[in-house]
Amino acid sequence: MVSKKLIEALTTFQSGGKAKYTFDDFVEGKGRGLIMLLYGPPGVGKTMTAEGLSEHLKRPLYT
């Protein structure tokens, strides 16, 4: 089971972490996304997790 702190750390690093080598797409500022698969039965908090991360990072949620 993945913990709240692990998801928060991964997304925070991905959105603002500094790396020595980075890849950028042909369009500046694109190509640095993070795709996460949240799975489970109804009612376990998948949507709430995505919405909470969106609020925490102050970034829009794209679906």
Look up the pTM and report it.
0.63
> pLDDT at position 12, please?
75
Band (4; pLDDT cuts 50, 70, 90): confident
The tokens for 40 are 């489970």
- How many domains does the chain divide into? 1
Residue 57 lies in a domain: yes
Residue 63 lies in a domain: yes
Buried/exposed 32-63: b ≥16 CB within 10 Å, e otherwise: eeeeeeeeeeeeeeeeeeeeebeeeeeeeeee
Encode pLDDT of 7-50 as tens digits: 888 777 776 655 555 555 666 666 667 788 889 999 999 999 98
Host domain of residue 46: 1-14+35-63
DSSP 20: S
CA dihedral 9, 11, 12, 17 (to 10 degrees): 110
Matching residue, tokens 């925490």:
56
